[in-house]
Amino acid sequence: MSRKDNNAVFLVMSIRTTNVSEWSTNLHFRTFLHLYNQINMWTLVNHSLTFVVLIQLLNLENSISFERSLMPSIHLKPITVIGSIVYDLVMPLVHLPVIGETVPGTGFNTFIGGKGLNQAIQIHRLEYPLNFFGRVGDDKYGSEVFEEMARQGFPTEGIRIIPGEHTAMGMIFVAPDGRNMIGGFRAANIYFPLCEVDEPVRKAIENSAIVSLQLETPDDVVLECLRVAKKAGVATILNAAPYRQLPDEFRKLVDFWVVNEIEAGQFFGCNIVNACDCCPIEEDKKVRAGSQIWVVTLGSKGAAVVDSNGIYGVPGIKVDAVDSTGAGDSFTGGFAVGLAEGQSPRKAADFANVVASQSVTKLGGITGLPRRSELSSCAGRDC
């Protein structure tokens, strides 16, 4: 080791396994290999089937994240999600209506969702540490959110009740092929005042691996969270939905933009159906400079990652779709976990695509969000 390395910090990881091939194919070992761009030096030693990894960290404050289930003694930097909570009313129909048409329903269900909560639950089900901040009203729907999250072991410390307000509501119609139409009432989600980006929220952001936000909460709150993250050097994801024109400052603060094909077309003034239609994004100055990456979800056709190296197409995965509600949120949550585990953006999108493909096989937003154990059947993919 050279003189300049004398003050380096070393992290020692010891994992005992009974089978060498089991170790070499283990998700967590593959995750470690994905971290090559964050590691200055590493050594792997095999002694009596105990593997010791010595990682010379360039900066302890930006230490590498591993899963809690594998490494209980190592502090993991969580993903922080700040966003919406919505109580969904879901009705499957024989087909989606046109204007003025009444269509018979084939069922009715209620689910807890919202972009922010869906993404946070997906991260939680992928067994990655999480902070979540959101708002509900002081009505029965808000109470049900707390009850359901407690049943799932989901962290509720960051969920606050807004007195005198309704919990946000979503009305969702679902066609037999899984396509949907959604209307929403933001209610408590818009009562997330700037003053509530307070010390607990700021500390959570500053100590995160990644911060993920959406546009179902007020712009000034989203911007302030982005500013805090940027100052702390924390990577940011913005799921820029629902679409609206945004202040220019957003383009200076967001690292990863995640949008669907409709939203991408609205941002760039083009029609996007396939990955090859993303050329206008590829020509964007910030994308060409490498300061931003755009990820476009394409429904059953997969996704596209647009970065300074061009357009990377993620092929769709054929499944028996039941309900696409929450599929984009499932993708965003999976993408955040992939990045936090050290995968490249393109590999993280591959992983997110697998996660999202499983989310459409069940009815209801959070009901369909898969657990990591459910991804083991995805042969040939990095699940």
pLDDT 10s digits, 173-211 = 989 988 888 888 888 888 887 888 889 999 999 999 999
Residue, of 331 and 177, whose pLDDT is higher: 331
Q: How many CB atoms lie within 10 A of CB 299?
A: 19
168-174 and 180-185 strand pairing? antiparallel
Q: How remote is the C-alpha of 27 from its chain's centroid?
A: 19
Class of domain 79-375 as given by CATH: alpha beta
Q: Quote the pLDDT of residue 24.
A: 32
Separate counts of helices (H) and strands (E) for the chain: 13, 16
**Res 91 pLDDT > 50:** yes
Name the pLDDT band for 52 (thresholds 50, 70, 90).
very low
- Dihedral angle computed from the Cα positions of residues 267, 270, 276 and 282, in that order, rounded to the nearest 10 degrees: -50
Name the pLDDT band for 73 (thresholds 50, 70, 90).
very low
Q: Quote the pLDDT of residue 86.
A: 92
Average pLDDT on 143-157 reads 91
Sign of CA dihedral 109, 111, 114, 116: negative
Average pLDDT on 296-310 reads 93
Q: Quote the pLDDT of residue 332.
A: 96
Residue, of 9 and 154, whose pLDDT is higher: 154
Name the pLDDT band for 343 (thresholds 50, 70, 90).
very high
State the number of CA atoms in the 13 A half-sphere of 132 facing the CB. 29
| Average model confidence (pLDDT) across the chain | 80
Residue, of 195 and 46, whose pLDDT is higher: 195
Say which range, 27-36, 98-107, 277-286, has the weakest mean pLDDT: 27-36
Q: Quote the pLDDT of residue 34.
A: 44
Name the pLDDT band for 27 (thresholds 50, 70, 90).
very low
Q: How many CB atoms lie within 10 A of CB 148?
A: 15
Residue 383 DSSP code? -
Q: Quote the pLDDT of residue 379.
A: 38
pLDDT 10s digits, 214-228 = 999 999 999 999 999
Share of the chain above pLDDT 90, in %: 58
Q: Quote the pLDDT of residue 350.
A: 95
**Res 336 pLDDT > 60:** yes
Name the pLDDT band for 44 (thresholds 50, 70, 90).
very low
**Res 20 pLDDT > 70:** no
Q: What distance, in Å, lies between the first and last C-alpha atoms of the chain? A: 36
pLDDT 10s digits, 233-252 = 999 999 999 999 999 999 99
Q: Quote the pLDDT of residue 48.
A: 32
SS3 category, 99:
coil
Q: Quote the pLDDT of residue 337.
A: 95
